[in-house]
Amino acid sequence: MPKVSASSRLLVVVGDPIKHSLSPAMHNAAITALGLDAVYVALRAEATALPHLIRGLEAVGVAGNVTLPHKTAVAQLLIRLTPVAKDLGAVNTFWPEGGRLVGDNTDVPGLLDALDPLDPHGPWLVAGTGGSARAVAAAAREKAVTLLIQSRDPARAAAFAAWARELGTDALVDDGRPVGTAINATPLGLRPDDPLPFSDERLDGCRAALDLVYRPGGTPWVRRLKARGIRAADGRSMLVAQGAYAFERFFPGCRAPREIMAAAVERALKETG
Ligand code: NDP
């Protein structure tokens, strides 16, 4: 933990629930390593509290992160958004500028960083149509790859594909064509008895996969993929990368110590496991 004094700067992560969040462990490890006078804490806030909370944080210049289920609601409360946050209508990071809070979505560069070492050829196939699937659509736009969408509900897949095309992504409902990369953007894998997000047959020929889910001991899907010789990683790499980009918004001019943040995540996961 950082040494806290009356001059320490406060950083927060806002969500509901929030007890499971690894962000305080990750950011406080980085703050301590760089000898910064700051402390990062978790705030549980219900949706009805957000307007007052955001105005209060703004009044005293507090920066922070936003997590489920508030990424969209907080985007609507901020005075200015970066282009990617505006495109997605969701923020996971905010900080004060000129007395007002500005929002960004570091999930997108975090996702791109997590995908990069996997050499993620297109087309990409994503499972899920929620908030993190939107970040996948923005990442696919950035990489100029075709994105296929799998959902439990065909109408939701079609609506998501239409939204992603508006964004500028070459997106369509999964039509079964061979894919280069698969991404799990559902909560499947959080529980050990969950089904896998994709059938083995659907991923025949697929060479890379990213599971956004992480849990102590790794996820069953990543273990299965690796056993099949597919390059695969779970959500820890994205968690650390999005956190590193957020840290660099909080402390401009500082380089986030990613290895220290990753080690803190490992420790915190072991403690919760
Ligand atoms: P959302 O709830 O916004 O969306 C999840 C989507 O998954 C839903 O829209 C739904 O799509 C699908 N889904 C939900 N429940 C099930 C189920 N039981 N079986 C199959 N599909 C389901 O969550 P997020 O997109 O924000 O996050 C998804 C997961 O990604 C989280 O659980 C979290 O673990 C992980 N995550 C990790 C991050 C990281 O940094 N590593 C960052 C953000 C998220 P549909 O109904 O169309 O099938």
Assigned domain for 2 exists? no
Q: How far is the CA of 137 from the centre of ligand 1 (A)?
A: 14
The confidence score (pLDDT) of residue 4 equals 93
Exactly one of 3, 19, 71, 226 is catalytic; name it. Answer: 71
The confidence score (pLDDT) of residue 2 equals 85
Range of the domain at 258: 9-105+240-272
The residue type found at 251 is F
* Pair (212, 252) in one structural domain: no
Task: Confirm if 171 and 159 have CB atoms less than 8 A apart.
Answer: no
Backbone φ and ψ of 93, nearest 5°: -145, 140
Assigned domain for 176 exists? yes
* Pair (78, 114) in one structural domain: no
Assigned domain for 3 exists? no
The confidence score (pLDDT) of residue 1 equals 83
Name which residue sits closest to atom 40 of ligand 1, judged by CA. Answer: 239
CA dist., res. 92 & res. 87, Å (int): 13
The confidence score (pLDDT) of residue 44 equals 98
Q: DSSP letters along 117-174, please? A: GG---S-EEEE--SHHHHHHHHHHHHHT--EEEE-SSHHHHHHHHHHHHHHT--EEE-
Counting every residue, how long is the chain? 273
* Pair (123, 200) in one structural domain: yes
Torsion over CA of 36, 245, 67 and 120, rounded to 10 degrees?
-150
Q: Check pocket membership of 212 for ligand 1, CB cut-off 6 A.
A: yes
Q: Which residues of the chain have pLDDT under 70?
A: 273
Nearest atom, ligand 1, residue 197 CA: 20
CATH number of residue 33's parent domain: 3.40.50.10860
The confidence score (pLDDT) of residue 188 equals 96
For tokens 């196939």, what's the residue? Answer: 125
| Both structure tokens of 109 | 């560069």
| Both structure tokens of 116 | 């990069």
* Pair (115, 189) in one structural domain: yes
CATH number of residue 165's parent domain: 3.40.50.720
* Pair (177, 193) in one structural domain: yes
Q: Is 71 a catalytic residue?
A: yes
The confidence score (pLDDT) of residue 153 equals 98
Which residue among 132, 234, 247 is best mutated to probe the pocket of ligand 1, counting the most ligand atoms within 8 A of its Cβ?
A: 132
* Pair (99, 58) in one structural domain: yes
The confidence score (pLDDT) of residue 166 equals 97
Assigned domain for 1 exists? no
Q: How far is the CA of 239 from the centre of ligand 1 (A)?
A: 14
* Pair (73, 89) in one structural domain: yes
Selection from 160, 104, 114 nearest residue 137 by Cα: 160
The confidence score (pLDDT) of residue 139 equals 98
Assigned domain for 4 exists? no
Per the structure, the count of domains in the chain is 2
The confidence score (pLDDT) of residue 217 equals 85
Please give the C-alpha separations between residue 206 and each of 46, 129, 168, 209, 226, in angstroms, as whole numbers. 41, 21, 24, 8, 12
Q: How far is the CA of 234 from the centre of ligand 1 (A)?
A: 14
State the DSSP code for 66. E
* Pair (100, 23) in one structural domain: yes
